[in-house]
Structure 1
Amino acid sequence: MERTSLADVAEAAGVPVGNIYYYFKTKNDLVAAAVAAQSSESTQLFQRLERLGTPTERLHGLLDVLTEVGGSVAEYGCPLGTLSAELDKRNGTTASPESQQLLVPMIDWAEQQFANLACADARQQAITLIAAYEGAALLTHSLRDPDVLRSQMHQLHLRVDELSASLAH
């Protein structure tokens, strides 16, 4: 990402470089727009999931959405994870605020669902869930095999059900 110029972006997009410069004066402007677009998509997803009845159903809904993109993840990787990793490279040893803007809301949302289930370690459960997805996404992309993601998401569905059932008793 650091070595990529706006001219490179224009070429990859198949548009004149002037079109890119019209909308984005700097590469940072382009990065900010990409982060804002991904953040907006996540917010819209969470709003849709909130319409589901229970925290367990909402967590399953998230896993279903993440499973549905398996083919795309196999080809391109996880959009949030990949962009986050690239953004972190820009900051050296410090965490990238843009990277956190991408992943922290998903962790926060999952934490709220686990908290609504009365899970004492809701934050840890949320981190485990998102880390398991991101790891599965990385393997799916590296192996170019969407079945890896499907099988891992199935395991996460089972884990959510087990946890939900154990907290109900």
Structure 2
Amino acid sequence: MAGIKSDKRRRLVKAAADLSHKHGLGKVALADIAKSADVPLGNVYYYFKTKAAIGEAVIAQRCNEFRQLRGMWEKNPLPKERLKAFIQMTVDNRKSLARSGCPVGSLCAEMGKERGALADEAALPFRELLTWTEAQFAALGRENDKKALAIHLLAALQGVSLLANCFRDPGLVLHEAEQLNTWIDGF
């Protein structure tokens, strides 16, 4: 029975994450989440008492996704290669980015307009990613400017994600990734 409950919750969170990426969490109705997850609407309330609770679950899922990706990137022995794997993740998702934007960036932008605890929590995936990226630059001997370099890299990837979405052009991601890989090679 516990497996069924956790599967329903997992499906609800996945549906909420997918729908909020496409439409924005504020525009997604609980009925839409239930339908997409193939779960009765009443079950949504069993797992999530409020829409904010769904937002928290989506944020937690995004953090977990980044943690899993970082685990894969860490298999690369060199920090340059780990940073390039991060860039490659953006390249690999360029079509989705052109269609719907960055799932984390979009959520942060949406939640940031409302302010409050959920907005602060929405930034957690980026905070963790920045900390990881800073560690990569520190491993490259750039301890003194690791934060600025990490922000530059994340800002470049978020900026090109936004532009790819704005212009519906995934090719922009390819061009920026090439520039960033050359920049990283210079360290």
- 1:4 offset after TM fit, Å? 4.8
Corresponding letter in the other structure for 2:137: F
State the shift of 1:12 in Å: 6.4
**Residue 25 of structure 1: CA displacement?**
1.5
**Aligned partner of 1:100: which letter?**
A
What residue number does 2:63 align with? 39
**In the aligned structure 1, how far is the partner of 2:81 from the partner of 2:27?**
43
Number of matched pairs: 162
Say if 1:89 and 1:9 are closer, same or farther in 2 by CA, change over 3 A: farther
2:83 matched to 1:59? Answer: yes
- When normalised by structure 1's length, the TM-score is 0.87
Q: Which runs of 5+ in 1 are unaligned?
A: 165-169
1:153 pairs, out of 141, 153, 177, with: 177
Partners in 2 of 1:15 and 1:111 — Cα distance? 41
Match of 1:113 among 136, 139, 157: 136
Measured in 2, the distance between the counterparts of 1:95 and 1:41 equals 18
Rounded to whole Å, the distance in 2 between the matches of 1:133 and 1:31 is 24
Specify the alignment match of 2:119 in structure 1. 96
**1:167 alignment partner in structure 2:** none
Query: What's the offset of the Cα at 1:5?
Result: 4.2
Please state how far the C-alpha of 1:9 moved relative to its aligned partner. 3.8
Residue 50 of structure 1 aligns with which residue? 74
TM-score by length of 2: 0.79
Which residues of 2 match residues 123-134 of structure 1 at below 5 A? 123-134=147-158
Match of 2:102 in 1: 78
- 1:29 matches 2:53: yes
Decide which structure has greater helix share: 2
What's 2:160 paired with? 136
C-alpha spacing 1:22/1:102, structure 2 compared with 1 (3 Å): same
After TM superposition, which residue ranges in structure 1, 4 or more long, deviate above 6 angstroms? Answer: none
- Provide the residue aligned with 2:146 in structure 1: 122
Letter aligned with residue 26 of structure 1 = T
Deviation at 1:6, TM superposition (A): 2.4
Corresponding residue SS for 2:182: helix
TM-aligned CA deviation for residue 11 of structure 1: 5.6
